[in-house]
Amino acid sequence: MFDSGVGGLTVLHECLVSLPEEDFVYLGDTAWFPYGVKDPEALRARIRSIAELLLGGRAKLLVIACNTATSIGEDVAREVGETHGVEVVPVVEPQAEIAAAITDSGRVGVLATPNTVESGAYRRALESQHRALEVTEVEAPDLAPFIQDGSPFDAGVLEMARAYCAPLKRAEVDTLILGCTHYPLVAPMLQRILGRDVRLVSGGHAVAAAVQRTLERDGLARSLAGEGTYSFLCTGDVDSFCDLGTRFLQMPLGEVERVEIPGAG
Ligand code: DGL
C-alpha cells in the first residue's frame, strides 16, 4: 500500500480493522508530499518507481491509498502490477460506486486536490455508474498540507473548510466524496458545515471493501484466524512520520524504516 505521506494511513486503518489477518506494508512518500500540486508526468514516474519497489517484495496485492496517485497514475501502477502478476486496488472507483449507490438526489460533491480534480478521474468514474448524477467538484489546495502539518485545528482551518464547502452547499449535494486521504480527519468539521444529512464517503471504507472482494475473488484471502503484521516505510523524516502517523492510523506504528525511491527524482 502506498500514499504521498501519512494520509493513506486512514485507508490502512480501515484495512487493519476489516482484514486483521492480513499482513500489510505501507509506504508513505513523505519526501514528495504533497502530490496534489506536483507535475503529473513527474508524479507518474515516481508512482512507477514506488510500485516497482513494493512489488519487488512479495506483495500479493497493491493498494493505491492515495486519491491523487490514483487519479494521475492508476494506469502506471496497473502496468507494473501486470508485469508482476499482481492486481491493483485504487481508491477512486470504489468511492464513486458507493456515492452513486447512496445519493438520493443524484447531486454528488467531490472535495479533492487540484491534480485529482483536474485529472477528471472522479467525474469519469461517476459518469460510468449508469445513473444520471450532477457532480460538483471543488479543489482544496490548502487543506491536506494544513492537516499534514500537524498544527492544532483552529479558527483558520474552520474558515478554510467553510470556503471549500460553500460551492457544495450552493449545489445542494446530498453526498460528498472525501477525495483525499487526509479529509477524514476534518470530517466532523465538514459534516457540521454541510449539515448532518449529507453523506460523507471516505476512501478507507470503500478501499477496505474492495481489497476484501479482490482477495476473495482471486483466492488470495488468508484463512488463518489471528492478527497479521503491519510495517512502514517512508521517504522523508522518520520521526515526523511517527508523530503524525499515530494520529492518522489511530494505532501504534512501531518501527518505521526510511527508504530511497530508486531512479526517481
Ligand atoms: N494522499 C493525497 C491524496 O489523497 C494527499 C494529498 C497530497 O498528497 O497532495 O490526494
As for how many domains the chain has, the answer is 2
What confidence score (pLDDT) does residue 146 get? 93
Residue 257, strand partner residues: 233
* Pair 10, 32 in one domain: yes
* Pair 43, 70 in one domain: yes
Percent of the chain surpassing pLDDT 70:
99
Does residue 265 carry a pLDDT above 60?
no
CA angle 72, 68, 165 (to 5 degrees): 130
Last residue of a domain, one of 184, 203, 222: 203
What confidence score (pLDDT) does residue 22 get? 96
Q: What is the CATH number of the domain that holds 143?
A: 3.40.50.1860
- Dist. CA 225 → ligand 1 center (Å): 33
* Pair 179, 209 in one domain: no
* Pair 14, 64 in one domain: yes
264 in a structural domain: no
What confidence score (pLDDT) does residue 224 get? 79
Q: What number is the average pLDDT over the span 216-235?
A: 93
Does residue 180 carry a pLDDT above 90?
yes
What confidence score (pLDDT) does residue 65 get? 97
* Pair 182, 101 in one domain: yes
Percent of the chain surpassing pLDDT 90:
90
Q: What number is the average pLDDT over the span 194-216?
A: 96
Supply the residue whose CA is at minimum distance from atom 1 of ligand 1: 66
Does residue 215 carry a pLDDT above 80?
yes
Residue 15 is among the residues annotated as catalytic for this protein: no
What confidence score (pLDDT) does residue 233 get? 97
Q: 118-172: per-residue pLDDT in tens?
A: 999 999 999 999 899 999 999 999 999 999 888 889 999 999 999 999 999 999 9
Place of cell 460538483: 136
- Dist. CA 146 → ligand 1 center (Å): 12
Supply the residue whose CA is at minimum distance from atom 2 of ligand 1: 66
* Pair 51, 74 in one domain: yes
Q: Which of 35, 91, 186 most suits a substitution to test ligand 1, by most atoms within 8 Å of the C-beta? A: 35
Domain carrying residue 120: 92-203
Give the Cα separation of 98 and 129 in Å (integer).
10
Q: What is the identity of the amino acid at 139?
A: E
* Pair 155, 219 in one domain: no
Residue 70 beta carbon below 6 angstroms from any ligand 1 atom: no
Place of cell 507535475: 39
Q: What number is the average pLDDT over the span 9-17?
A: 96
Helices 187-194 + 155-170 axis angle, to 10? 50
Q: Which of 3, 68, 235 most suits a substitution to test ligand 1, by most atoms within 8 Å of the C-beta? A: 68
* Pair 115, 199 in one domain: yes
41 in a structural domain: yes
User: CB of 81 within 8 A of CB of 101?
Assistant: no
Reported pTM: 0.95
What confidence score (pLDDT) does residue 264 get? 55
263 in a structural domain: no
Residue 66 is among the residues annotated as catalytic for this protein: yes
Residue 32 beta carbon below 6 angstroms from any ligand 1 atom: no
Residue 73 beta carbon below 6 angstroms from any ligand 1 atom: no
Residue 10 beta carbon below 6 angstroms from any ligand 1 atom: no
Report the mean per-residue pLDDT for the chain.
95
**Side-chain half-sphere CA neighbours of 104 within 13 A:** 5
Q: 58-108: per-residue pLDDT in tens?
A: 899 999 999 999 999 999 999 999 999 999 999 999 999 999 999 999 999
